[in-house]
Structure formats: structure tokens, C-alpha cells
Amino acid sequence: MRKKSMIKFFSAMIVTMVVLFTSIPTYADNGSTEDTVKDLVQNKNMKSRILWYDLSANLENLDTPEEVADIVAKTADANINGIVLDVKNRSGFVPYQSEYAPHLSESKNPKYNWYPEDYDLIETVLNEAKKYDIEVHLNINTFSAGDTIYNEGPAIDNPDWQTIVYDVNRVVTEAEGNTHAIDGFDQTRRSGTLIVYTPENNDLTPTNRWGIEVVVENGVVTDIVDRVVIGGEGPPVPENGYVLSGHGEARQWLLENVEVGEQIDISSVETDLKPVSETAGPAAFMNPINPEVQQYTWNVIEELVTNYDIDGLTLDRARYNNIYTDFSDLSREKFEEAIGQEVTNWPEDIYTVTFKGNEKVINPGPFYKQWIKWRAQNIHDYFGATKEFIRDLDSDVLFNTYVGSWYPLYYSEGVNWGSKDYFPEYDWTADNYNETGYANHLDFLMTGLYYGDVTVEELEGKLPSWYSVEGAADLSMEATQYDTFVYGSLFLLQYQDRPEAFKRAIRMTEEKMHGIMLFDLVYIEMYDWWPLLEEVFDNKTKSPHQNPGLLKQIRSN
């Protein structure tokens, strides 16, 4: 290189370095990582703004390149700097050609199977996002991979992968002693379920016509209305009784076993251990500790990281279904191995279930706290292994997850998304529960602040503070102990016809946290809230995780 050229080269390099280092705050010199991340909340120019593109909800918004171009342009105009693109829905289907996961066009579900087989949603969104320097993180529903209604998906195709549910139900007992499980009280009647509607919550039976209603007063059947045959509205719910509503198989059972004038009872309880596909839950979850399940999730992750130039990988539903799983033989074996003794009464020594009115009540057994901790440890270990797996594939890919902010209740999903330095004291925590916290495995964490009340004051003392956006944000930061960047998520459906409350919720989240995630695109389109976002996000910002120095500090935790 000639002398003049070298002078130009080094001069340009020096200018570049000056710009670079003056644009990156020297947080590393100001104290600990905790102090750095804590102080960063006050930096209004360093806020992550992420919009979630849910796969199932937005199929018709994102099924052509033209529509994607329009949506991504609107996203950019709203000063949003990140997209989470959902690419594996809770049924396990995907919008790209995969070696491991079935394509949407293969589904039996008419909401999915029309999707164009030769269209790659991921590549389309990536191409558009790059025009505006918007990050794209691909989301997978990690352990949810099957649809029990349509009986399809990887979890259905591999029964040994499914979680085993501690299934405890009230049952209907007819005059001759035949029984049928009750799938719920005062909730939506889905395909093949039997639901009880009570006068406390219903005047009329709130169902569609594709089922049967049995009216019961003072324990006696007074009317049977088969609306599949006669149509019409659902019958009134009697003040001195209830209505049994059945669809599909449950409808057929009621037709064959129940008659007007007969006595009927709904107080008895039946307990069983069942594969999730045989229960009322719509999503078929897989057992997180099954080695084949873990390998399956990593196969999907490797495919995405290897084949697409993405910024990050997001895990949703990286958890157990709920408190009632997993009670498989594998889980029993591994739990007994972990605690060093046999569980004689399985699952009663973990807990039993009774009913208080129509609500299930968990009665802890001798191993309950150890069980809660053990499940959280399993998810912690999976996150640790997955982090290393992704780093080995591509260290530039950001690893993150999405959880509910209701930390005092989220143990029921087998998850401790907090810090190992956070020591919660609840009636379900073992002394060493803090060891299961996985916040330090993440490049950033998104917590759902899913509450309609924005401030703690709005609760008027009727609920704990974390039932508000403000309180949930505070708890999210407290539980993570600044181990990572934390972005609060808002569920836009909760602000329908309340745009001013939505704006206040956005401002509250940005004031309290490192950024915000909006769930979901479909509501922005539905409510035509793009102008609202442009108003409230009136400046461009950078995500904290985009700062190399800050990210290095987080990863060194």
C-alpha cells in the first residue's frame, strides 16, 4: 500500500473507531453488570421495540410477498426495531419446507391447509426487514407440537413424546351409574367436550347449535334440547340447577344415557393418568425431559439457524402444559433418582386434587416442593443446553424467550425465569428453588404484562400489585435481578376500544423496562393502530442487545 493510501486508510479507521466508541456507552467501567443493566432502564434512546407476528393469527396478513412488504413497511414507519416471526405454531406446523416439521398445507385444519406450499414466509419477511434494518427473531412453540382436536402434529404422531396428565375431573353420574368426565365449568365448549353452565355466570347457555343441552333442576333432568336437530338459542340456565352441554362424543353420551325425569349428579370425582391427547386440552405438549423430544426441538432449531440469516431464536411454550404434567414413567424414574428415594404413592405423594365448588384445589403431598423445584430444574437445564447448542451453531444468533410475568403463579408451568440471585418465598418454594432460575442463559427476556389496569393505583388494593402493567414490570425486573435485558409485552386485545389506555401502557412499559414487545400484529391491523404507534413511538431507538459491549457483559454473567 502506498504511503498516501495508508494515511487515508488509517485516518478513516481512526474516525470509524471514534464514532464507534463514542456511540457505545462505557457501561463496563461504571460498576457491576447488575448496575449497568439497571441504569440502562433510564436510557430513552436504548429501548427495544418488538412486534410479534403470530403465525396462526396472521396467515391471511402474510401469505403473499406484497402483503409482507406492506406490513414490514408499516412496522418500520412505526419505529419498531424488531420482529418476532412465529414459524412453528402450537400444533407443530410450519410455513416453510422443513425436514422435521409438517407444512401448514398438510394440516387437516381448514384454517391452515390452504397455505401455499411453495411460499417461504421466513425468507420473504427477512428480505423485507433487511431493507429497514429491522431485526428478525424466529419463534418456535417449543414443547407444544400437536392438535388434539384434529389429531395431528408431531406429538400426535409420536405418542411416546406426549406428556402424561394427572387428570382429575368431576364427573356426571346418570341414574344407572354410568359416568362421563366434565371438561370444565362456565367456559367455551370445544369439540368433543362436556361443559357445565351455572346460574352464577350465565343467564342463557352460551353455546353454538352444534351440541346438546341437558337442563337440570334440583338434581333432576327437566329438559333435553338437541340443538343439532332443532337449532335455536341455548336454553336458560335455571337458578336452582345448571345446564350440561355436550358436543361430539359427549353429545352422543348424553343422548344415550340421560332422560327427562331422571336424577343426575355432578359431585363425584375420577382420577387417572392419561396422555395429553386423551384429555380436553387443545394443544398436545411433549415431555421436556424426553431425549427424543429434546433432539427434535434442536433439529428444528438447527434447521432455522443454518438455513436462514436470522438475528435471533425465540422459544415460546418452552415449559410444561400446566401443574398436572408430567406424570410419565420416565418422569417418575428421573424424579426418584433426583431425590434419592422411591415415591410409594404415585402421584398422591406429590399432591392430591379436591374440588372447592367448581374449582380444583391442589393439596400438597410430602414431595410437592421437591417436585416443583425438579420440574423447574428440568426447564433450566434445557435452556442451558439450548443456549450452548445455538452458540455452537452461530454465536451471533440471539437466544431469547417469552413467558408470563405472573411469577408467583408461573411455577405451575414448571418454569423459573428469574435470577439465581432471586430468592422467592412462597408456599411452593423449596429452600434451593433459586438454583433453577434461567435468566442468565438469555440474551433477553420478554415477559407478558397481560393486564388491563396500567397502574398499581387503578387496582384500588383489590389485587396484588403485579396484576397491573406497572406492578408486573416491577416484578419482572426484581425477579431477574438484572441478569439480562427484560422487555415487557402488552396483549393488545386487552386495550380494544381503549387507545389512550394502550398509549399509557406503552409509556409505562418503556419507563420501567429495557423495551417493549407488542402482541400481536393481528390487532394492530384489526384496530388500525399504525398511526397510534407512530404517535407514541415518535423517535428511533436501538435495542440494548444490539450494543456489542452490553451484550458481552450480559453473556459473561
At position 254, the amino acid (one-letter code) is: L
Answer whether 219's CB lies under 8 Å from 263's CB.
Answer: yes
pLDDT score for 27: 39
Task: Give dist(CA 402, CA 490) in Å, integer.
Answer: 12
Q: Give the β-pairing of 82-88 and 135-141.
A: parallel
At position 100, the amino acid (one-letter code) is: Y
Cell of residue 132, nine digits: 429497514
Phi, psi of 111 (to 5 degrees): -75, -20
Phi, psi of 112 (to 5 degrees): -115, -40
Task: Give dist(CA 119, CA 65) in Å, integer.
Answer: 9
pLDDT score for 278: 92
Of 85, 185, 162, whose CA–CA distance to 127 is shortest?
A: 85
Phi, psi of 63 (to 5 degrees): -95, 5
Answer whether 375's CB lies under 8 Å from 320's CB.
Answer: yes
SS3 67: helix
Cell of residue 364, nine digits: 400438597
Of 520, 111, 79, 25, whose CA–CA distance to 316 is shortest?
A: 520
pLDDT score for 31: 61
Task: Give dist(CA 456, CA 450) in Å, integer.
Answer: 14
pLDDT score for 557: 77
Query: How many residues does this entry show for the chain?
Result: 557
SS3 404: strand
- Which residues is 166 bridged to in the sheet? 273
At position 135, the amino acid (one-letter code) is: E
pLDDT score for 357: 84
At position 248, the amino acid (one-letter code) is: G
Hey, how many other C-beta atoms are within 10 angstroms of the C-beta on 74? Answer: 17
Task: Give dist(CA 68, CA 127) in Å, integer.
Answer: 10
Show pLDDT as tens, one digit a residue, over the chain (557 residues): 333 333 333 333 333 333 333 333 333 344 688 999 999 999 999 999 999 999 999 999 999 999 999 999 999 999 999 999 999 999 999 999 999 999 999 999 999 999 999 999 999 999 999 999 999 999 999 999 999 999 999 999 999 999 999 999 999 999 999 999 999 999 999 888 999 999 999 999 999 999 999 999 999 999 999 999 999 999 999 999 999 999 999 999 999 999 999 999 999 999 999 999 998 888 999 999 999 999 999 999 999 999 999 999 999 999 999 999 999 999 999 999 999 999 999 999 999 999 988 889 999 999 999 999 999 999 999 999 999 999 999 999 999 999 999 999 999 999 999 999 999 999 999 999 999 999 999 999 999 999 999 999 999 999 999 999 999 999 999 999 999 999 999 999 999 999 999 999 999 999 999 999 999 999 999 999 999 999 999 999 999 999 999 999 999 97
Of 507, 165, 552, 170, whose CA–CA distance to 347 is shortest?
A: 165
CA of residue 54 relative to chain centroid, distance: 11
User: In which order are the strands placed within the sheet that holds 179-181?
Assistant: 179-181, 164-173, 265-275
SS3 524: helix
